[in-house]
Structure 1
Amino acid sequence: MALSNSLTWRARRLYYLMQRVTGSMVRRGLRGTVTRIAQEFRHHAKSSPTWAMESLDDATAPPALPTSDAPQVSVIIPVHGKLDYTLACLRSIAHHGAKAPFEVIVVDDASQDATHSVLSGVAGLRLLRNPRNLGFIGSCNAGAAAARGSYLLFLNNDTQVTPGWLDYLLDCFKDEPDCGIAGSRLIYPDGRLQEAGGIIFSNADGWNYGRFESPDDARFRYRRDVDYVSGAALMIESSLFNRLQGFDTRYTPAYYEDTDLAFSVRSVGRRVIYQPESVVIHFEGISSGTDLHAGVKQYQVVNKAKFAEKWAHVLVRQPSAGSLIEQAIHGERPHILIVDALTPDASRDSGSLRMINIMRLLRELGWRVTFMADNRMASDKEIAQLGRIGVETLCKPWSPSLASWLAREKHTLQAVLLSRHYVAAPNFDLVRRAAPSAKIIFDTVDLHFVRELREAQHTGNHTMMRQAQSSRRREMSLIRACDVTLVVSPIEQELLSKEAPDANVALVSNVHEVFGRRADFAPRKGIVFVGGFGHPPNVDAVDWLTQGIFPPLYAARPEIALHLIGDIPEPARTRLSGPGIHIHGRVDDLAPWMDECRIALAPLRYGAGVKGKVNMAMSYGLPVVATTIASEGMQLRDGESVLIADDAAGFVAAILRLYDDEALWIRLSDGGLDNIRRYFSFDAAREALRKALPETGPL
């Protein structure tokens, strides 16, 4: 009996799927069809404990909703019966709230149950009641007409929201140029993924990308443009919704209205964006059922024909019904794969920040960006951080090996960027062989052999000297073999023009937002050093700072505190601790120290490239005392944009001079900010990328 029931369920599911794909699709595009069928029978994911749901057996209404009289967002929930689902939805909203001010409008579409009487007692809820049944579209349009918010968020009553549900959607409109619609990642109650954005094929068939997959899979956790998002959780600007005259009533009572709205939004030059950080649980089928031949659900077939007729001129440019899913979702955008040693984390090091910002720029310039760490590891935080800027992360346990991935995606790639010589060297031959048409870009980050050579000279270490020579041979070999080499410093660019005159070497330096000086001189106090122990020059610098520089400074001015920020292991913390020294470790946000300290320090005695700690401080208008090594390659001028000292006594003198001289402090602050704007801002990096990569795509 159980087996029979299982087979019956599978047969129904297969029948349902085949309603979504045409016979011609089976004949012309078997691979794409089989891909979608296979998704139906994947192992079910387990529900995440972070998505705890409200019980449908709880018949209580929330006593009040955390709404606003001056809402930025109007949440519109159309309902027709199903009071238990509506109450659970409202309780989830009451539980999680939002940072942005919002209002909740429930449009009661002539419900026959106790919906109106029960919801009338919920404080803060705006309850509208249609005099007759208008259907989903009529109710949504009625709610929009009454809304006071600058944004509308249409939400099904058979949903439950999770932390950040509303604010993450709003972020899309702040972060993404021309965002017209933002939609949530929809999850089934059993924990499977329901939708990660929608695809429309040329025959007007739709498909929910990722259906029945694991919602944790990194493939579904990055922002991207999509054909449509489900009206179960859809945000749009009120002015744009009104300009487009709302949901098109030709689709009354429901189905295809959200897809039609998305196509209308795209037709006026705005974008439809899938936002995975906004997670909404959706009990699909509760409102309209699942039978394509009965009830409201039958309009899915009827309205598909209406949609196909209205948008015939656009559908001819959509992927064919037999297209592979992975190709259908990305379109014709140029594709770049980036491989680095580790998945970048902006709070870990300046190299991570530079890589993240380069990926932001590449995506802004029209690229599809895919990232893989050499060890294929990535934390949830790192996946989310890259997903927020529209970058797909390839990582365990979801992605295949680099070789397998290249075999599948080689025809989509225009470029592969290999970062750091010890990552580029072992992967170069594989990439060249597997994706011969892709340009290979070698990002040095800094010239490792220069840094190692300077460390060897500083320490007198003969083993390090041999290592530096070995690194030099590997790096120079890669520079000659790759299509483009990126360096961060004009000094390194000049060095390579002599060492490898035939190589294509481009300058793409650090990239920083210009935060500006946000606090005056007088209230600031203390000095700060930023740098983790994962980078040998930082280890030497902080040892010299705490043992050679700070003791005489503290003796002269004990009120000046030293703040150390960065990954510092426990044994080192014990060694570095002392009077006036505060060790904070790694922090997610440097802003408090950049805004509240009076001076940033960069006492590096060896190294290469451009120093992110110097750039970062200057981007906040925080003056820097640095060594010559720490300030090289940055077009800085001593006394105008930085103070330079190369011995302990000179360093102490420079700190004391700057700490008490407000006029000098302001001059250096202004000079540092001007330096960042001219050489290290997004505008400067954008232009550098255009010049550096002229043949890899539409830059």
Structure 2
Amino acid sequence: MQKVLYLGYVWPEPNSSAAGSRTMEFLRLFRQQNWQVMYASAASLSEHRADLAALDIEEKVIAINCDSFDHLLQNYQPDLVVFDRFFTEEQFGWRVAQYCSQALRVLDTCDLHSLREARQQLLKLSMPVHAKEAERHQVGAVTADAVALYKCMTASDLAQREIAAIYRCDLSLMISSFEVDLLRQYFSVPAYLLCDTNLMLVPVQRQLTSYEQRQHFLSIGNFRHAPNWDAVLWLKHAIWPRIRQQLPQAELHVYGAYPPPKAMALHQPQQGFYMKGWADNAQEVMAQAKVCLAPLRFGAGIKGKLADAMATGTPSVTTQIGVEGMQGDLAWGGLVADDRETFADAAVRLYQDQNLWQLSQQQGQAILQKYFDRELNTQSFLQALLLAREQQAQRRQQNFTGMMLRHHLHKSTQYMSQWITLKNQKN
């Protein structure tokens, strides 16, 4: 492979989200292979986007429902096209199939959106309908098993769209072994269509700040990501009051990109609840904290904030959803709790017990070494990519479901897009 076209849902922001960090790892890896890379997106140019020019990556602003993208494909003729999330595959996949049929089509799911949506719906159903805001956030994290999740997902339009996109592509990049198992066992997705890779930037620090040098609790996450905003609300209304009862002088510092006014309105220093907003260096503020709190009641994929916590030697308290796909058979680098009382008590215990804190720090380092080794993840990903290229014709022939879905959905998408294009030209 010599030419890569990376179709971004957004412009990558490695300092704003784990997804942005993961995208940059792929882009760097492609350039290290001396492959020519073009990054194209229909999204607005963002303030915090990465400097792709520094990696000698060409940037292209593209438009949806526009034939100009066809001309780009015909001129560039990529060997590999990466779709950043299934929305992008839906919009541009038929054009790639039509004008660059020889290109290997790869979908980076980032996480399974339909799984996250299913858990969010289950959480909403567990909340009292007409209760006040604080009362609504007393319920704990979603603990539904795979059977219940599958049942919820099958009724979802989002799941049907997302899994159809997985079938239509030659390879889908997954970031959670739980999601791989869910797709294989319950949705019958062939194993050769899935690549489980933890490749993401985890800058492990050699010199870890000690227990005595640290202070305060910390929570961090992009506010545009629904699970992160929900976690802040659960902290504010249900968990933090219980922590403050036991630790009256404790402080919680909440960081995250793109905080809306409603988030900053939660700032209450008299309660030790500090809304900090954007962090110029997430690893730096994480390394100064004593305990990271990630009370995720719903979500999917693996959590960049928790990888950063382990990399900086900061023990964490999170839920089963938080640790999903991250620890394998190893003990977590902190404590895990799914209800507000247990979560708060675990946070206090980890904050006060130095021996437990140091053990948790060691356990976090062990997880990073076993499951987030950059060199091993890089080699396994490249091998999967090159094997998919080598077996591309054979796999496409085997994947009749994917051909069928591509035919029906792409025809309808193609005709709708062409109709919109003609309409825009007349206007």
- TM bin, normalised by shorter chain, reads 0.7 to 0.9
From 45, 49, 58, the counterpart of 1:392: 58
SS at match of 2:229: helix
Taking the TM superposition and a 5 Å limit, the aligned residue runs for 1:190-339 are 334-339=2-7
In 1, the alpha carbon distance for the partners of 2:249 and 2:321 equals: 29
Structure 2 partner of 1:358: 26
Structure 2 partner of 1:244: none
The answer to whether structure 1 residue 607 and structure 2 residue 299 are counterparts is yes
**Cα displacement string for residues 543-593 of structure 1 (whole angstroms, at most 9, x for unaligned residues):** 001111111211221222101111221122213535211111122211331
- Farther-moved stretch of structure 1 (562-571 vs 552-561): 552-561
From 70, 76, 82, the counterpart of 1:417: 82
Alpha-carbon contact 2:228-2:296 (below 8 Å) kept: yes
The answer to whether structure 1 residue 537 and structure 2 residue 204 are counterparts is no
In 1, the alpha carbon distance for the partners of 2:329 and 2:355 equals: 17
Structure 1 partner of 2:134: none
Structure 2 partner of 1:477: 164
Q: Which amino acid in the other structure matches residue 35 of structure 2?
A: W
Pick closer, same or farther for the CA change 1:443–1:401 going to 2, 3 Å. same
Pick closer, same or farther for the CA change 1:636–1:651 going to 2, 3 Å. farther
In 1, the alpha carbon distance for the partners of 2:207 and 2:319 equals: 23
In 2, the alpha carbon distance for the partners of 1:407 and 1:568 equals: 41
Q: How far is 1:517 from its partner?
A: 4.7
Higher RCO (CA 8 Å, separation ≥ 6 residues): 2
**Cα displacement string for residues 443-477 of structure 1 (whole angstroms, at most 9, x for unaligned residues):** 1111111111111111029xxx6897111111121
Structure 1 partner of 2:403: none
Alpha-carbon contact 2:167-2:189 (below 8 Å) kept: no
Q: Which amino acid in the other structure matches residue 116 of structure 2?
A: R
Q: Which amino acid in the other structure matches residue 383 of structure 2?
A: K
Pick closer, same or farther for the CA change 1:640–1:608 going to 2, 3 Å. closer
Q: How far is 1:535 from its partner?
A: 0.9
SS at match of 1:361: helix
In 1, the alpha carbon distance for the partners of 2:35 and 2:218 equals: 38
Higher strand content, 1 or 2: 1
Taking the TM superposition and a 5 Å limit, the aligned residue runs for 1:136-151 are none
Pick closer, same or farther for the CA change 1:645–1:383 going to 2, 3 Å. closer
Q: How far is 1:687 from its partner?
A: 2.1
In 2, the alpha carbon distance for the partners of 1:432 and 1:652 equals: 51
Q: Which amino acid in the other structure matches residue 351 of structure 2?
A: Y
Larger radius of gyration: 1
Q: How far is 1:676 from its partner?
A: 1.6
Q: Which amino acid in the other structure matches residue 305 of structure 2?
A: K
In 2, the alpha carbon distance for the partners of 1:470 and 1:540 equals: 23
In 1, the alpha carbon distance for the partners of 2:177 and 2:376 equals: 14
Q: How far is 1:640 from its partner?
A: 4.8
From 316, 319, 322, the counterpart of 1:624: 316
Alpha-carbon contact 1:600-1:623 (below 8 Å) kept: yes
From 427, 445, 448, the counterpart of 2:113: 448
In 2, the alpha carbon distance for the partners of 1:448 and 1:338 equals: 20
Q: How far is 1:636 from its partner?
A: 5.3
Pick closer, same or farther for the CA change 1:468–1:544 going to 2, 3 Å. farther
Alpha-carbon RMSD across the aligned residues, in angstroms, is: 2.5
SS at match of 1:594: helix
Structure 1 partner of 2:75: 408
Alpha-carbon contact 1:525-1:596 (below 8 Å) kept: yes
Structure 2 partner of 1:349: 17
Pick closer, same or farther for the CA change 1:540–1:620 going to 2, 3 Å. same
**Cα displacement string for residues 130-174 of structure 1 (whole angstroms, at most 9, x for unaligned residues):** xxxxxxxxxxxxxxxxxxxxxxxxxxxxxxxxxxxxxxxxxxxxx
Identity %: 28
Q: Which amino acid in the other structure matches residue 107 of structure 2?
A: F
Q: How far is 1:684 from its partner?
A: 3.2
Structure 2 partner of 1:649: 341
SS at match of 2:83: strand
Q: TM-score, normalised by structure 2?
A: 0.78
In 1, the alpha carbon distance for the partners of 2:330 and 2:62 equals: 48
In 2, the alpha carbon distance for the partners of 1:500 and 1:336 equals: 29
Taking the TM superposition and a 5 Å limit, the aligned residue runs for 1:681-692 are 681-692=373-384
Structure 2 partner of 1:490: 177
Structure 2 partner of 1:665: 357
Structure 2 partner of 1:574: 265
**Cα displacement string for residues 92-142 of structure 1 (whole angstroms, at most 9, x for unaligned residues):** xxxxxxxxxxxxxxxxxxxxxxxxxxxxxxxxxxxxxxxxxxxxxxxxxxx
In 1, the alpha carbon distance for the partners of 2:79 and 2:235 equals: 46
In 2, the alpha carbon distance for the partners of 1:630 and 1:468 equals: 25
Q: How far is 1:518 from its partner?
A: 2.6
Alpha-carbon contact 1:414-1:697 (below 8 Å) kept: no
Deviation beyond 3 Å, 4+ runs, structure 1: 465-468, 575-578, 636-640, 695-698
From 366, 378, 381, the counterpart of 2:45: 378
- Farther-moved stretch of structure 1 (658-667 vs 643-652): 658-667
Pick closer, same or farther for the CA change 1:419–1:460 going to 2, 3 Å. same
Alpha-carbon contact 2:217-2:291 (below 8 Å) kept: yes
In 1, the alpha carbon distance for the partners of 2:279 and 2:154 equals: 33
SS at match of 2:259: coil
Q: How far is 1:696 from its partner?
A: 6.2
In 1, the alpha carbon distance for the partners of 2:204 and 2:30 equals: 19
Alpha-carbon contact 2:7-2:82 (below 8 Å) kept: yes
Q: TM-score, normalised by structure 1?
A: 0.49
In 2, the alpha carbon distance for the partners of 1:575 and 1:381 equals: 24
Alpha-carbon contact 1:624-1:642 (below 8 Å) kept: yes
Structure 2 partner of 1:500: 188
Q: Which amino acid in the other structure matches residue 234 of structure 2?
A: W
Q: Which amino acid in the other structure matches residue 111 of structure 2?
A: D
Higher helix content, 1 or 2: 2
Alpha-carbon contact 1:417-1:443 (below 8 Å) kept: yes
Q: Which amino acid in the other structure matches residue 681 of structure 1?
A: D
**Cα displacement string for residues 252-282 of structure 1 (whole angstroms, at most 9, x for unaligned residues):** xxxxxxxxxxxxxxxxxxxxxxxxxxxxxxx
**Unpaired stretches in structure 2, ≥5 consecutive residues:** 127-151, 391-427
SS at match of 2:347: helix
In 1, the alpha carbon distance for the partners of 2:316 and 2:206 equals: 15
Alpha-carbon contact 1:507-1:692 (below 8 Å) kept: no
Q: Which amino acid in the other structure matches residue 628 of structure 1?
A: Q
Alpha-carbon contact 1:640-1:667 (below 8 Å) kept: no
In 2, the alpha carbon distance for the partners of 1:401 and 1:613 equals: 38
Taking the TM superposition and a 5 Å limit, the aligned residue runs for 1:537-576 are 537-566=227-256, 567-575=258-266
From 427, 430, 434, the counterpart of 2:92: 427
SS at match of 1:518: coil
From 184, 203, 210, the counterpart of 1:513: 203
Q: How far is 1:647 from its partner?
A: 1.0
**Unpaired stretches in structure 1, ≥5 consecutive residues:** 1-332
From 333, 340, 345, the counterpart of 2:8: 340
Q: How far is 1:422 from its partner?
A: 1.3
